[in-house]
Amino acid sequence: MKKLIFSLAIIMAFPFANAQNTDRRARLEKHLYYLASDSLHGRMAGSEDGAKARAYILEQWNEIGMEPFYPEGFEMPFSRNGLDMANLVGVIPGNDPVLKAEYILLGAHFDHIGYKDGEICNGADDNASGSSALIEIARMLKENQSKLKRSVIIAAFDGEEQGLWGSEELARKMKDDDMISLVKCMMSIDMVGWYATNGKLELLGSGTFKDGKSILQENAGGLKLNIKKFETAALTATDTRSFAKKYQVPTLHVFTGLKSPYHKPADDAELIDYEGLDSITCFISRVAADMASDPDFGPSGEIAYIHSGRNKPFELAVSAGFTTTSISFPDAHLTTDGAFGLTAGLSAQYNSKSIWGYRVGAYYETSKSYFPEQTNLFSASRTYRQQAVEVPVTIIMQNSNPAIRIYWGMGGNARYTFDSSLGDLNYKTNELQWGIHFMFGMKFGHFFFEDYFMRQFNDLFDTGAGDPKARINLTTFKIGWVF
Ligand SMILES: [Zn+2]
């Protein structure tokens, strides 16, 4: 309730929040068309064109009346791999005598990749869109500065496409100056120009700060949001990583999906959804104002596992797949032909901080095996069938990478067989079967697949005299989803 009353107060306090504004939209369009124009040749980091983009942003900041965050001025130069680059770092100081020493940090990278196959990649969505939004967000927050308690840092990052260099520089400098823990949330506005096509605004990281979901929902206006607690992308990264990975700063990646011609010459200004861009600009301003004004706002204590480089401690998964079953008769030196069956079930896994994981599962499983005609044990076309519930317990060895994980494991399993048949033969199947297994698998984000090999250790049939000794060999291929 307190939260609700507070939010209503915020909405009233920040009138800029509400509607489309034609002047602002025209300015967004102007910024974007300039930054994504052919004359900037794709804003390659360390190039003259990168410097031109930076000069344009700086000119806008000066017009808005931004103040530099560092006494040396807005430009924060750095060099890597022989390239001379610079971030721009400005601040809108807060008004609370205590809270103004804390920060909400909004960043967008302005560099892009230059040329590809001799053609200019203008990077309109990536990330002239975020850079343009950031200028107008700064303007709105500046106009409402008197209502901010915390200070808001506005950062235009260079060298993102090279490997998040600009954001790494700022994060490291803030760490060296003992300021990194004062950043209560860092947002990367990276690719926000394709709202209409994507149909929603993607927000990744709401779990890293307090009341994340409600802060975002309450400021949504008419925007459709897709809120995720943590970033999960395996192969892409944005400037949030520089702050989250080493320094555990709460982060939010704001974007409209990978709908634009990503890193292609066709990523042009004409394709941008300016109405959506304007709504997103409003939205982020409101969220930032809310974060900067609520004294209770702060980190949740949780960080995306993709950033921490650790596997999530507890995982629940569902999986399903195919089984093939063959039956060995050691005394007859015979193994029957395997046939397809099905499996589906659940598993729970604990992942230690090192390479070990421990898993227990429960699977429904059908097994089927054909008995060939030439055997001396059975006549033609008999099929062995059973239905069972299998409970495997597995010790797993794995790498610590929540994005791409490779693992193998071994353990023991017990199966309760509640139904079995073997044509006209009257062997009684052992209801309780047990064995050992090993497995290997790969996991990409939430998705995984794995192979599982089981060898039964006790006897399949259990009627005493006359029954052949028999053991099941089961191979399973599963695909699954980890929640
Ligand atoms: Zn980008």
Q: What tens-digit pLDDT sequence spans the chain (483 residues)?
A: 333 444 444 444 454 544 567 899 999 999 999 999 999 999 999 999 999 999 999 999 999 999 999 999 999 999 999 999 999 999 999 999 999 999 999 999 999 999 999 999 999 999 999 999 999 999 999 999 999 999 999 999 999 999 999 999 999 999 999 999 999 999 999 999 999 999 999 999 999 999 999 999 999 999 999 999 988 765 568 999 999 988 989 999 999 999 999 999 999 999 999 999 999 999 999 999 999 999 999 999 887 776 766 788 899 999 999 999 888 888 777 788 788 899 999 999 999 888 899 999 999 999 888 876 555 555 556 788 889 999 999 999 998 876 789 999 999 999 999 888 877 677 788 889 999 999 999 998 889 999 999 999 888 887 666 677 888 899 999 999 999
Which of 308, 333, 350 lies at the terminal end of a domain, its last residue?
Answer: 308
Q: Are 167 and 242 in contact (CB under 8 A)?
A: yes
Q: Are 438 and 301 in contact (CB under 8 A)?
A: no
**Cα of 370 to ligand 1 centre, how many Å?**
56
pLDDT score at 18: 47
Q: Indicate yes or no: pTM above 0.75.
A: no
Rounded distance between C-alpha atoms, residue 474 and residue 323, angstroms:
7
**Cα of 160 to ligand 1 centre, how many Å?**
7
Looking at the chain, how many residues does it have?
483
**Cα of 108 to ligand 1 centre, how many Å?**
8
Beta partners for residue 406, in sequence order: 442
**Cα of 177 to ligand 1 centre, how many Å?**
27
Pair (275, 337) in one structural domain: no
**Cα of 462 to ligand 1 centre, how many Å?**
65
**Cα of 189 to ligand 1 centre, how many Å?**
9
CA dihedral 113, 118, 120, 125 (to 10 degrees): -50
Pair (258, 349) in one structural domain: no
pLDDT score at 6: 43
Buried b (16+ CB within 10 A) or exposed e, 123-153: bbbbbbbbbbbbbbbbbbbbbbeebbbbbbb
Range list of β-strands (E), 197-353: 201-204, 225-228, 251-255, 314-329, 334-335, 337-351
pLDDT score at 12: 44
pLDDT score at 373: 53
**Cα of 127 to ligand 1 centre, how many Å?**
5
Runs of H (alpha helix) within 232-328: 240-247, 274-293, 305-308
- Dig out the tokens for 244 from the structure: 């989250």
**Cα of 126 to ligand 1 centre, how many Å?**
5
Q: Side-chain half-sphere of 307: how many Cα atoms within 13 Å?
A: 27
**Cα of 208 to ligand 1 centre, how many Å?**
21
**Cα of 292 to ligand 1 centre, how many Å?**
25
**Cα of 284 to ligand 1 centre, how many Å?**
17
**Cα of 112 to ligand 1 centre, how many Å?**
7
Pair (447, 322) in one structural domain: yes
Pair (99, 168) in one structural domain: yes
**Cα of 468 to ligand 1 centre, how many Å?**
66
**Cα of 369 to ligand 1 centre, how many Å?**
54
Q: Are 183 and 209 in contact (CB under 8 A)?
A: no
Pair (331, 277) in one structural domain: no
Pair (68, 194) in one structural domain: yes
**Cα of 302 to ligand 1 centre, how many Å?**
25
**Pairing of the two strands 382-398 and 356-371:** antiparallel
**Cα of 161 to ligand 1 centre, how many Å?**
7
pLDDT score at 381: 63
Pair (268, 383) in one structural domain: no
Instruction: At 11, give phi and psi (nearest 5°).
Output: -60, -40
Q: Are 112 and 121 in contact (CB under 8 A)?
A: yes
**Cα of 276 to ligand 1 centre, how many Å?**
18
**Cα of 221 to ligand 1 centre, how many Å?**
25
pLDDT score at 441: 95
Pair (437, 451) in one structural domain: yes
What is the total count of domains within the chain? 2
Pair (208, 340) in one structural domain: no
**Cα of 102 to ligand 1 centre, how many Å?**
27
Rounded distance between C-alpha atoms, residue 71 and residue 38, angstroms:
34
- Identify the domain containing residue 61 by its residue range: 2-308
**Cα of 421 to ligand 1 centre, how many Å?**
60
Measuring CA to CA, how many Å separate 478 from each of 97, 111, 223, 351? 58, 43, 38, 20
Question: Is there a cis peptide before residue 18, judged by omega within 30 degrees of 0?
Answer: no
Rounded distance between C-alpha atoms, residue 179 and residue 181, angstroms:
6
Rounded distance between C-alpha atoms, residue 351 and residue 40, angstroms:
48
Burial of 176 (0-12, 13-18, 19+ CB in 10 A): exposed
**Cα of 229 to ligand 1 centre, how many Å?**
21
**Cα of 30 to ligand 1 centre, how many Å?**
20
**Cα of 214 to ligand 1 centre, how many Å?**
27
**Cα of 238 to ligand 1 centre, how many Å?**
6
Rounded distance between C-alpha atoms, residue 221 and residue 230, angstroms:
23
Which of 308, 323, 349 lies at the terminal end of a domain, its last residue?
Answer: 308
pLDDT score at 460: 85
**Cα of 213 to ligand 1 centre, how many Å?**
24
123: domain CATH number is 3.40.630.10
- Sign of the four-CA dihedral 307, 309, 312, 318: positive
**Cα of 262 to ligand 1 centre, how many Å?**
9
**Cα of 448 to ligand 1 centre, how many Å?**
28
Pair (337, 294) in one structural domain: no
Q: Are 457 and 436 in contact (CB under 8 A)?
A: yes
Q: Are 347 and 407 in contact (CB under 8 A)?
A: no
- The number of helix segments (H) and strand segments (E) in the chain equals 10, 20
44 DSSP assignment = B
**Cα of 24 to ligand 1 centre, how many Å?**
23
Q: Please give the single-letter amino acid code of residue 77.
A: P
Pair (121, 264) in one structural domain: yes
Beta partners for residue 453, in sequence order: 438, 475
Measuring CA to CA, how many Å separate 55 from each of 60, 74, 88, 289, 387? 9, 11, 10, 27, 71
Rounded distance between C-alpha atoms, residue 426 and residue 371, angstroms:
15
The kind and range of the H/E element at 135 are helix 130-143
124 DSSP assignment = I
Rounded distance between C-alpha atoms, residue 50 and residue 86, angstroms:
9
**Cα of 224 to ligand 1 centre, how many Å?**
22
Pair (293, 363) in one structural domain: no
**Cα of 58 to ligand 1 centre, how many Å?**
20
318: domain CATH number is 2.40.160.20
